[in-house]
Amino acid sequence: MADSKQIEFIADRVVSEVMSRHLPELRQEMVRRVISELPAGGASEGGAASAVLEAAMAALQDVTSQVDILNVLLDFAARFSGRVALFVIRGESATVWQARGFPDDNGLRNFSLNLADAAVARVVQERVPAAAGLDFDPNFLAKVGHAAGGNAILLPLVLREKVSALVYADCGLEGGKLDVAALKLLMRSAGMWLEVLSLRKAVGGAPAPVPEPAALERPAIVATSVPPERAAAIAASAVSEPAARAVAAVVTPEADQVTTDERELHQRALRFARLLVDEIKLYNQEKVAEGRAGRNLYDRLKDDIDKSRASYNKRYGSTPAASGDYFTKELVRILADNDVSLLGANFPV
């Protein structure tokens, strides 16, 4: 019987192969999802922010390396803030990789944050943004100056559920823009795309790390508009709020006894299940339509469903996440449109 490392490698390879086939669709879906989260309204400022974010998503879809993604992230983060710097986390240090908007961006290279700083520690440990105001890392503020009114934020760049980098953004010395909502969306999207690339790397071995701090040229940014109707029906690299609620529904009954690691395991299992079922649907759209009409989806897609279920069970069937039965639930939700009877009498519940 394969050991856990072999099983994990096989699962990563499956995910990587799926991601490789779905990159164009995933790129377009990332654009659609981010833009859909922007506040609706006709205000010119809001419309301008939407246009810039759409350009950022289009730029992200046009690059294929981690270095380029980080450059795009910084270039567009600078559009929503006065000053911005990206710190790469390596071991016990967070070191400036590149910056935008400071009097001497290059002079910040290799500057390290104090990971014991309260705001830094919270962002790294809890993977949530935190204010980086007047009591932020004193060495950093002594070097760059205090943002007007202490209007600054530190955001995590999450890759494979770990904080791989930090982005500091503020309104500048004189006071100016700091669109925290837009920055959060931009960070989330960059993290999603970095994870996609990381999963692709798993085909040939370990995922590629976020690049070490180095003097790198800024790439040209291609900002083409991507219409939402081109988005495909797959976005398995992210767990949305509905997905989080699905996890909560399984672990809530004894929530006080559920560890953070176990909750994260459930989230990973749900993501993997969703990815597998999205692939079935994407490559069998005609069979899905016919199976819904004939109320025999399982009979028409038996081979694909059974193979995908086997992949899911190899990774999560013997873990606490098995109690969530996420693969079956995603089959019902995605393929059968929440009507289990459409799967047919032969579907093994």
189 shares its domain with 295 = no
Is residue 231 domain-resident? no
Residues 196 and 262 occupy one common structural domain: no
Same domain, 59 and 156: yes
* Dist. CA 67–CA 65, nearest whole Å: 5
Say if residue 287 is in the same domain as residue 142: no
- For the whole model, what pTM was predicted? 0.51
The verdict on 194 and 275 lying in the same domain is no
Domain membership of residue 182 (yes or no) is: yes
The answer to whether residue 209 is domain-embedded is no
Work out the mean pLDDT of the chain and round it to a whole number.
74
Structural domain includes residue 104: yes
Residue 103's domain is classified under what CATH number?
A: 3.30.450.40
Q: What is the mean pLDDT of residues 321-341?
A: 92
Answer yes or no: is 230 within a domain: no
How many C-beta neighbours within 10 Å does residue 40 have?
Answer: 7
Q: Is 201 helix (H, G, I), strand (E, B) or coil?
A: helix
Q: Which of these, 53, 75, 70, 33, lies nearest to 159 by C-alpha position?
A: 70
State how far the Cα of 59 lies from the Cα of 70, in Å rounded to an integer: 11
The average pLDDT across 19-34 equals 53
In a domain, 100, yes or no: yes
Q: Which of 183, 204, 225 is the last residue of a domain?
A: 204
CB 98 within 8 A of CB 105: yes
Alpha helices per DSSP H over 62-179? 66-77, 118-126, 138-144
* Model pLDDT for residues 229-280, shown as the tens digit of each residue: 332 332 333 333 444 444 444 443 344 455 677 888 888 888 888 878 877 8
**126 and 191 fall within a common domain:** yes
Whether residues 184 and 314 share a domain: the answer is no
Q: Is residue 211 part of a domain?
A: no
Res 159: pLDDT: 80
* Residue 269 contacts residue 307 (beta carbons within 8 Å): no
5-14 per-position pLDDT tens digit: 555 555 555 5
* Whole-number pLDDT of residue 97: 92
Cβ contacts of 217 within 8 Å, gap of 6 or more = none
The number of domains in the chain is 2
Residue that terminates a domain, selected from 180, 204, 228: 204
pLDDT digits (tens, 9 = 90+) for 187-201: 988 888 787 666 655
Residue 283 lies in a domain: yes
Confidence band of 178 (pLDDT split at 50, 70, 90): very high
Range of the domain at 297: 239-343
